[in-house]
Amino acid sequence: MHSPALALTWEIWGANRRGFLVLVGGLAAAGVALHVLARMFPASEGLKDLGFLPLVLSMPLLMALFNFTERRRRQGFAGFPARLFALPARTRLLVTCPMAWGVVCIVAVYLAWALLVLRPLGVEVLLLWPATLLAAGMVFYQTIVWCLSGFRLSRLIVLALVLCSLVAVGCVPSVVETEYRRAVEWYLTTAVVLLALVAYGAALIAVQLQRRGGGRGWQGAGEVIEHVMDLLPRRRRPFTSPDQALFWAEWRRSGWVLPGGVLLTVFLIMAAVTGFAGRDPETTARTAAWLVLLPFVLAAVVGKGFAKPDFWSLELALPPFWATLPIRSAAFLAAKLKTAALSTAIAWALLLVVALPWLLLACDTRDLRGLWHTFTAIYAPVAQWTILSLLLLAAMLLTWHLMIVSLWSGLYGRTWFFVCTAGVGSVGVIVLLGWCVLMVEDGTASLVDWLPWAPWLLAGAFVLKSWGALWAWRQAYGRGLVSGAFVGVYLSAWLGATGCLLALAFCLSPRIDWLRQTLILVALLLCPLARLGLAAVNLRQNRHR
Amino acid sequence: MQLHLSPTNGVPIYLQIVNQVKYLVASGRLAPGEELPPIRMLAEQLLINPNTVARAYRELELAGVVLKRRTAGTYVSNAGSPLARSERVKILNDRIDALLAEARQLGFRTEDVLHMLERRAALLPSPTHE
Amino acid sequence: MDSTGLFETEPVIEIRELSRRFGAKVALERVSLTVPCGTVFGLVGANGAGKTTLIKHVLGLLQAASGVVRVFGRDPVQDPVGVLARIGYLSEETDLPGWMRVDELLRYTRAFYPRWDDAYAEELRQAFDLDPAAKIKNLSKGQRARAGLLVALAHRPELLVLDEPSSGLDPIVRRDIVAAIIRTIADEGRTVLFSSHLLEEVERVSDRVAMIDHGRIVLSAELDDLKETHRRLTWHFEKALTQPPRLPGVLTWEGSGHEWSALCRVGLGELHATSIPEGGCLVEERVPSLDEIFVAQVGSKASNSMEN
């Protein structure tokens, strides 16, 4: 290799070979599948919407592949790889190479998808505007990752904000009237390109600063935050038991993430709605719906990080510090479960305390009140309050479920296993969604044909779940991973939670037989049972390789 | 009691301790009846295994240089001159061997060495005999 | 029977025919080792020889694929609580949680070990000069090693396991670590297992030494026996030689021309009498250091395999 640019390119490719192959393979497979489905269901509209899904999913993967930073797994990512600074290459080259390749790849992926899959499906897609947006997005992403290398949390927040605003800007031409659309697109394209160039310049300056040993003065903000956090009351009493110590460590590390995220997002939503969208009934109803969905969405995301032994590091293997503590494997698991439960409770409490008064006092709740009237008309007053409290409980249980659902795969400690199960899970969900969408499109007749089968399917799933649970818990108990107390406590918690959900199903109980049965069976399936026993067994495999 | 160890010169550490203690006793830096430091303290001071120190003390006890009083520590024995003298003779013999070897290397004969010894001894202040 | 619950003669660690591979690479091959109670056991080997793998098996971090590992008579994988409560562990990659402060770390670890000694922990903390309010990620490498050592020692473990504790550390921290080993062993009934490739340290402190090379135990003996059975002999030849003479029991030759030096395994005086090479006279005989023995042992295996 005689040119530095070629060498850098080879490094970008070589470090992420598997990722690139997965990307290309996955997209190709999805494209072929969509073509085949289009042949089978020619008139489906949902299919056209579904066509965007693989593209959207490949974006995070592309961002991860072009995350050209130092790979220090224990402490998360750091800034630009410092070892490259020792090479006789100009900073311009070091920065431009990954950035240029990132832009090229993302635009290529988009154009390939648009031309080869979406256009043949009959979807009218623009080429230039979205491509520009995506390229700019990649440039902003890499700039932020390199500039804010010291601040993991603020980096994530800034990144989320920038990407959201890009998406918002992207939607602007479609909401503008047709006659102005061309002009608006033109202006916006120029603006975005200019911003991207500014970001590129900023990246150059930041990396040059890092190369000269600077860029650390910005740690001042991080230190201020640390000083503030240090002022918070710290525990001074000694721990009375190992379980208490484990819980404290887990809470300090990851317990506050979900409530903090919920609080921050609620404030952002409140600010956005009050400032921009106004308080008409329709917006209020939509905001209320989003607020209710918020903990679930955040829990699903946080849950993936929660599955790792340490939330803030990328390492899935159990660090020897924890593996050599004289504890049973399940004690570690119990701490995580307790932290997740407390997190969930606090998050929901914050949501209710902050968002509910704001909704009731500051917004126009006409639509919502209409809903409430319908509700009170159907159910008796006693049933109303029972249903409301049980609904809240069910929501908390579902959030907790989303937090801990990945524990069994994350605690196994092998990256390929975690990624595969996550991938298979997501693919399964997507396939299910797609299938439902297609069913709905095809005409309600076939959907109604399938519905009576739902209780049978769910009953089968419940049998599988019980069987799996029995096997997993027996394994865990047999190897001494869990104490009798742990099993007892968890089983009673599970029974209690499922009991409440069953009560909810009964209260809501409509007259339709299969619907009631479906609800009951869903209630039985909701709380994780088998997966926790499996988590204990997998954690043992992680601890003793 | 100051001991100096060099672990890399090959001589086993316990033997180095034995030799050095013998030298200290012979040269009078350790008086008869003086207590040697306890095993643990010497081990921590020299950063070596206490078993090594124990072995060295055992060897010294076997050689009669020190006495181990039960639970009261280890003391330099009051053994009379014969042992100390034999140690002293050995030390001097080693030096004489080295001197003679070097003299031969440099091309001097034994008579020349004797002459030089007498001349240098005359320059020394007269020692007080012990 | 002493307070550890073992008879004095029962070994603390017993490993029989332990083998382990990682994919195609053989990390350990039929390793058998016994660490008696009350000894300092030094494990010596090149980088990648299998020392860390062996130590991880002792702690239960790795499962024995074939073979038996028993610590305090129990399997560390089946009974982690019972075994690990009596072990203190320090490794070269100190992976203490960086976000904790020193006093939080002490308070945290204290909750797990019933035999934690507060006064001793405080004494060590002051001796090591660790600021209680400092975050572990802000400590230097040496201070982090000291913090790890503090956490390993404060509960007065019966078995202290150190995995290359001194690598990359300055001499002052190394002294602290060696002093800690000695203080531990000076108490009755406590054992130390440590691996190192700083042979000078091993030589000072160990009672028994085992050498590991490419996953196999090359040598395992009391340090004194090892020293007694190896000699470095130097001969002076009248005629200059280009090749060293062939002698049995010689591990490696060094030298050129008139003087050749050999490091040999000696069996109670036999070498001197029978195998004086022709035309040579012995000029020097001394006890080699552990360093020389190790290099000779490992090197001789390599040269033997090359000849074969």
Facing A545 at nearest CB: one of C61, C98, C104: C61
Binning pLDDT at 50, 70 and 90, where does residue A349 land? very high
Q: How far is CA A135 from CA A65, A124, C48, C302, in A?
A: 15, 20, 45, 56
Verify that C206 and C192 share a domain, yes or no: yes
State the alpha helices, DSSP H only, in A114-177: 119-121, 128-147, 152-175
User: What CATH number has the domain bearing residue C113?
Assistant: 3.40.50.300
Count of domains for chain C = 2
Asked if the model's pLDDT at residue C3 lies above 70, the reply is no
In sequence order, the β-bridge partners of residue C262 are C233, C253
Q: What is the pLDDT of residue A279?
A: 67
CA distance linking residue A504 with residue C24, whole number of Å? 56
Instruction: Check residue C8 and report its DSSP letter.
Output: T
Verify that C202 and C238 share a domain, yes or no: no
Q: How far is CA A363 from CA A275, A276, A292, A357, C191, in A?
A: 12, 13, 16, 10, 71
Mutate to test the interface with C, among B6, B8, B45, B53 (most CBs of C within 10 A): B8
- Asked whether residue C2 is assigned to any structural domain, the reply reads no
Residue of B nearest to C180 (CA): B44
Q: Beta strand pairing status for C230-241 and C280-286? A: antiparallel
Amino acid occupying residue A193: V
Domain ranges of chain A: 4-228, 246-405, 451-545
Asked if the model's pLDDT at residue A72 lies above 70, the reply is no
The answer to whether the beta carbons of residues C56 and C62 sit under 8 Å apart is yes
Distance from the A68 Cα atom to the nearest Cα atom in chain C, whole angstroms? 24
Mutate to test the interface with A, among C20, C22, C55, C61 (most CBs of A within 10 A): C61
Region label for C216, one of left (φ > 0), alpha (ψ between -120 and 50) or beta (otherwise): beta
Write the pLDDT tens digit of every residue in B30-52.
888 888 899 989 999 999 999 88
Of C168, C153, C162, C215, the C-alpha closest to C42 is C162
Residues near A294 by beta carbon (within 8 Å), at least 6 away in sequence: A262, A265, A266, A269, A351
Percent of chain C with pLDDT over 90: 45
Domain end position, chosen among C176, C198, C224 = C224
Contact (CB<8Å) A326/C81: yes
Facing C95 at nearest CB: one of A234, A320, A327: A320
Neighbours of A19 (CB within 10 A): 15
pTM for this entry: 0.81
Write the pLDDT tens digit of every residue in A9-54.
888 888 888 889 989 998 998 888 888 888 877 766 767 777 787 8
- Asked whether residue C150 is assigned to any structural domain, the reply reads yes
C200 half-sphere exposure, CB direction, 13 A CA radius: 10
Contact (CB<8Å) A238/C89: no
Q: What is the pLDDT of residue A493?
A: 86
**Cβ-count burial A76-104 (b if 16+ within 10 Å, e if not):** eebbbeeebbeeeeebeebbbbbbebbbe
Q: From the centroid of its chain, how far is CA A447? A: 30
Mutate to test the interface with B, among C176, C188, C224, C285 (most CBs of B within 10 A): C224
Asked if the model's pLDDT at residue C306 lies above 50, the reply is no
Helices (H) and strands (E) in chain A, counts: 24, 0
Q: How far is CA A274 from CA A269, A358, A422, C139, in A?
A: 8, 10, 37, 47
Verify that C70 and C98 share a domain, yes or no: yes
User: Which residues of C have a CB under 8 Å from any CB of A?
Assistant: 59-63, 77-85, 87, 89, 91, 95-100, 104, 107-113, 137
Sort out which chain C residues have CB atoms less than 8 A from A320's CB and list them. Answer: 59, 61, 89, 91, 95
> Would you state the structure tokens that stand for residue A24, as one six-digit string?
């290309």
CA distance linking residue C267 with residue C273, whole number of Å? 11
> Would you state the structure tokens that stand for residue A482, as one six-digit string?
């869990």
Residue of A nearest to C93 (CA): A320
Instruction: Count Cβ–Cβ pairs < 8 Å, chain A vs chain C.
Output: 81
Sort out which chain C residues have CB atoms less than 8 A from B44's CB and list them. Answer: 179, 182-183, 186
The answer to whether the beta carbons of residues C208 and C226 sit under 8 Å apart is no
CA distance linking residue A285 with residue A368, whole number of Å? 6
A70-74, C69-73, C255-259, C285-289: the lowest-pLDDT one: A70-74
Contact (CB<8Å) C112/A74: no
Amino acid occupying residue A482: V
CA distance linking residue A140 with residue A169, whole number of Å? 14
Q: What is the average pLDDT across A383-394?
A: 86
> Would you state the structure tokens that stand for residue B71, as one six-digit string?
């639970």
Verify that C186 and C237 share a domain, yes or no: no
Neighbours of A52 (CB within 10 A): 14
Q: What is the pLDDT of residue B127?
A: 57
Q: What is the pLDDT of residue C61?
A: 93
Asked if the model's pLDDT at residue A348 lies above 50, the reply is yes
CA distance linking residue C106 with residue C146, whole number of Å? 13
Residues near C197 by beta carbon (within 8 Å), at least 6 away in sequence: C44, C45, C46, C47, C164, C167
Verify that C219 and C250 share a domain, yes or no: no
Sort out which chain C residues have CB atoms less than 8 A from B56's CB and list them. Answer: none
Binning pLDDT at 50, 70 and 90, where does residue C117 land? very high
The count of residues in chain B is 130
**C156: exposed, middle or buried (C-beta count within 10 Å: 0-12, 13-18, 19+)?**
middle
Most confident of A55-64, A480-489, C78-87, C261-270: C78-87
Asked if the model's pLDDT at residue C308 lies above 50, the reply is no
Task: Give the angle A425-A430-A432 at the CA atoms, nearest 5°.
Answer: 95
Mutate to test the interface with A, among C81, C156, C158 (most CBs of A within 10 A): C81
The answer to whether the beta carbons of residues C294 and C211 sit under 8 Å apart is yes
A237-241, A337-341, C210-214, C247-251: the lowest-pLDDT one: C247-251
Q: Does the beta carbon of A474 lie under 8 angstroms from any beta carbon of chain C? A: no
Verify that C139 and C257 share a domain, yes or no: no
Neighbours of C68 (CB within 10 A): 12
DSSP string, C26-91: EEEEEEEEEE-TT-EEEEEE-TTSSHHHHHHHHHTSS--SEEEEEETTB-TTT-HHHHHTTEEEEE
Kindly tell me whether chain C and chain B come into contact, counting contact as 3+ Cβ pairs under 8 Å. yes
Verify that C89 and C204 share a domain, yes or no: yes
Q: What is the pLDDT of residue A278?
A: 66
Q: Does the beta carbon of B91 lie under 8 angstroms from any beta carbon of chain C? A: no
Contact (CB<8Å) B7/C200: yes
Contact (CB<8Å) C112/A326: yes
Of A110, A113, A161, A159, the C-alpha closest to A135 is A110
Residue of C nearest to A542 (CA): C61
Percent of chain A with pLDDT over 70: 92
The answer to whether the beta carbons of residues A321 and C61 sit under 8 Å apart is no
Write the pLDDT tens digit of every residue in A458-513.
888 889 888 999 998 888 888 888 888 888 888 888 888 888 888 888 877 767 77
**Cβ-count burial B18-52 (b if 16+ within 10 Å, e if not):** bebbbebbbeeebeeeeebbebbebbbebbbbbbb
The answer to whether the beta carbons of residues B48 and B5 sit under 8 Å apart is yes
Distance from the C64 Cα atom to the nearest Cα atom in chain B, whole angstroms? 32
Q: What is the pLDDT of residue C307?
A: 40
* Residue C119 belongs to domain spanning: 13-224
Q: What is the pLDDT of residue B72?
A: 78
Sites in chain B below the pLDDT cut of 70? 7-9, 79-84, 126-130
Write the pLDDT tens digit of every residue in A153-179.
677 778 888 888 888 888 777 777 777
- Asked whether residue C7 is assigned to any structural domain, the reply reads no
Q: What is the pLDDT of residue A214?
A: 65
Verify that C37 and C174 share a domain, yes or no: yes
Percent of chain A with pLDDT over 90: 19
Q: How far is CA C306 from CA A2, A421, C45, C299, C300, in A?
A: 38, 48, 20, 11, 10
Neighbours of chain B (3+ CB pairs under 8 A): C
Facing A239 at nearest CB: one of C78, C84, C107: C107
Write the pLDDT tens digit of every residue in A228-247.
777 777 777 888 899 999 99
Of C141, C104, C27, the C-alpha closest to A237 is C104
Domain ranges of chain B: 7-76, 81-123
Q: Does the beta carbon of B78 lie under 8 angstroms from any beta carbon of chain C? A: no
Kindly tell me whether chain A and chain B come into contact, counting contact as 3+ Cβ pairs under 8 Å. no
Write the pLDDT tens digit of every residue in A270-322.
887 777 766 677 778 888 888 898 899 899 889 988 998 888 887 888 989 99
- Asked whether residue C207 is assigned to any structural domain, the reply reads yes
Q: From the centroid of its chain, how far is CA A136? A: 23
Contact (CB<8Å) C287/B40: no
Q: What is the average pLDDT across A200-223?
A: 74
Give residues 200 to 219 of C whose Cβ lies within 8 Å of B.
200, 203-207
> Which residue is listed with tokens 């660490």?
C35
Q: What is the average pLDDT across A113-118?
A: 86
> Which residue is listed with tokens 């499996």?
A534
Mean pLDDT across chain A, nearest whole number? 83
The answer to whether the beta carbons of residues A303 and A406 sit under 8 Å apart is yes
State the fold for domain B7-76.
Answer: Arc Repressor Mutant, subunit A (1.10.10)
> Would you state the structure tokens that stand for residue C267, as one six-digit string?
């069996």
Residues near B72 by beta carbon (within 8 Å), at least 6 away in sequence: none
Most confident of B19-28, C58-67, C196-205: C58-67
Q: What is the pLDDT of residue A353?
A: 92
Verify that C138 and C37 share a domain, yes or no: yes
Asked if the model's pLDDT at residue C150 lies above 90, the reply is yes
Instruction: Check residue A234 and report its DSSP letter.
Output: -
Facing A238 at nearest CB: one of C63, C89, C107: C107
> Would you state the structure tokens that stand for residue C228, as one six-digit string?
């007694």
Verify that C104 and C76 share a domain, yes or no: yes
Q: Is C163 helix (H, G, I), strand (E, B) or coil?
A: strand
Write the pLDDT tens digit of every residue in A409-443.
999 988 889 988 988 888 888 888 777 777 777 66
* ipTM score of complex: 0.86
